[in-house]
Amino acid sequence: MEVEGIRMQLKTYHQDHLLDFWDELTDLEKKELADDISSVDLAETNSYFQRANDSLKNNNKILDHEMSPINSERCGILNQCSEEQLRGYEKKGLREIAEGRVAVVLMAGGQGTRLGVTYPKGMYEVGLPSKKTLFQLQAERIRRLEFIAEETCGKRGGITWYILTSEATDKMTNDFLNHHNYFGLVKENVKTFKQCMIPCYDFDGKILLDAKHKISRAPDGNGGLYRALHQSGMLDDMRKRAIRSIHAHSVDNILIKVADPYFVGYCLDKGADCGVLVVEKTEPTEAVGVVSQVHGLYRVVEYSEIPKTTSELRRADGRLLFNAGNVCNHYFTVDFLVKISECHEKDLDLHLAKKKIPFVDEKGERQVPASPNGIKVEKFVFDVFKYSRNFAAWEVPRDSHFSPLKNSNSVGQDCPATAKRDVLALHKKWLLKAGVTSVMGEVEVSPLRSYMGENLKGLDDVIQGPVVVE
């Protein structure tokens, strides 16, 4: 095997240490390492490290006079809309679904490490009476919404479900969905695709080895969505299906309104190419990014970038001036995604995180560090906002739309216990509004019965849990 050519190329980019153990490798391991190195665009990879370092210098830069809130004409508020307005948005959204022009992009590349499990987070179930997983809840909401759209518009168009996985979750996700027959969805309308992997670095920009014959890599973050859509052929698939509207969201929000017709309809009404669903930030000290304008361009401003005095500013009605809390819930047109992939993907902001990364030391021994020893580079999905020509935001109540599942129960927030509590509280509210006089114990409403509180008339006056309203 010709190694000198590889060595010279690596030397050009100051990464020739990757061949330090070449003479100790078997022929098979040499081939694997050579293939691994050849799959890396070294010029781009080196630039990633430099760009991420440069962006780190700007991280936590305090923004003040540079910031302004979302233009009120571009931000609809669900609770302030009239019934007529909501019916109009819903009709537009349902018509888009009935015409087969809506797809859902589910960002599900993360493992449940913080939850204390080693499988994809979408396979997790929080202990609801039904024992349904996040994947099943979301799939069944899609099925219910397809039915509502057909019933309303007299035409059935399937919602295509694109699921972004990672190297760590792809096989388990596909095996799980196949085992459960895609939870009743049409198999051809469920597409999985993998996000890309970026090499990990030490603090000097040297690529780390995970084994003597293998480069250390990590997923490129949820902002890797755009490259993955292009490279996997999913953008081409969307265009072949004549899809126009994309609802993209993370897997861990148990209350997610998948393909939310209000949100989709609002964005269509505004002619938006890019939209964001937000929840109201009510406390200045809440550590959540807010959607704002900086120098006239929309972006998510992290809590650490907002000075205390600015975070406390309020409007005439008492609400915080900067209150549009970001919850990883987005609308895109397919044309916008094509523009990002063809014109802007390589210029997306890069974010640097110091992590504990297993590595091979100078002696060739694999070490698992106890403290951060290296750098992972990520892209964020919301960093495309600045490329939007017609941006829109849609504000919704937190208690009916957002309950993230991130931590184990020992943390006490954003955990299985709070996710379960929030689902059951919302379903109880639906049932009481529908005429049930008493809801006791754990009462869950199946997504196949109701998408957002409809179709619940005529139930018993008293419902005693644990039970699932099928």
Work out how many domains the chain is built from and give that number: 1
pLDDT at 60 over 60: no
Query: 3-class DSSP state for residue 285?
Result: coil
Structure tokens at 4: 């000198």
In a domain, 34, yes or no: no
Question: Which is it for the CA torsion 188, 250, 248, 99, positive or negative?
Answer: positive
In a domain, 167, yes or no: yes
The two beta strands, 274-280 and 201-202, are unpaired
Average confidence (pLDDT) over 193-211: 95
E-strand ranges in 206-360 read 209-211, 214-215, 217-219, 245-250, 274-280, 290-294, 297-301, 324-333, 351-355, 359-360
Is there a domain that residue 265 lies in? Answer: yes
| Residue 280: pLDDT over 70 | yes
Q: Work out the percent of the chain whose per-residue pLDDT is above 70.
A: 98
CA distance 31 to 132: 44
> Chain-wide mean pLDDT for the chain?
94
What pLDDT is attached to residue 1? 55
Look at residue 55 and tell me whether its pLDDT is greater than 80.
no
Of 1-5, 168-172, 188-192, 412-416, the poorest mean pLDDT is in 1-5
Model pTM above 0.75: yes
Is residue 336 domain-resident? yes
**3 state DSSP class of 233:** coil
Residue located via tokens 């210098």: 57
Cβ neighbourhood burial of 392 (10 Å; 0-12, 13-18, 19+) = buried
The answer to whether position 351 is within a domain reads yes
Phi, psi of 348 (to 5 degrees): -60, 145
Give residue 290's pLDDT: 95
Of 266, 281, 269, give the one whose Cα is nearest residue 313.
Answer: 281
Q: Which candidate, 413, 456, 466, 426, places its Cα nearest to that of 144?
A: 456
- Mean of the pLDDT values across residues 192-208? 94
Q: What is the distance between the alpha carbons of residues 156 and 143, in angstroms, rounded to a whole number? A: 11
Tokens found for residue 354: 């110091």
36 within 8 A of 10, measured Cβ to Cβ: no
Peptide bond into 129 cis (omega under 30): no
Nearest residue to 44 (alpha-carbon basis) of 279, 347, 275, 252: 347
pLDDT band at 58 (very low <50, low <70, confident <90, very high): low
* Residue 11 within a domain: no
Find all residues with CB under 8 Å of 435, minimum gap 6, and list them.
Answer: 456, 457, 459
C-alpha 337/C-alpha 407 separation (Å) is 31
CATH number at residue 368: 3.90.550.10
Q: Residue 140 corresponds to which amino acid?
A: E
CB 375 within 8 A of CB 200: yes
- Tokens 């999985």, residue? 192
What range defines the domain where residue 135 resides? Answer: 60-406
In this structure, what token pair is assigned to residue 112? 């449940």
DSSP 8-state assignment for residue 28: H
Residue 21 sits at φ, ψ, to 5 deg, of -110, 20
What does the alpha-carbon distance between residue 2 and residue 6 come to, in Å, rounded to a whole number? Answer: 8
Residue 389 lies in a domain: yes
From the list 222, 245, 258, the residue with the least C-alpha distance to 381 is 222
Let me know if residue 159 belongs to a domain. Answer: yes
Flag whether pLDDT at 97 surpasses 90.
yes
The one-letter amino acid at 117: V
Res. 62: pLDDT tops 80: no
Structure token digits, residue 311: 């975070």
Amino acid at 338: V
Q: pLDDT tens digits, residue range 183-192?
A: 999 999 999 9
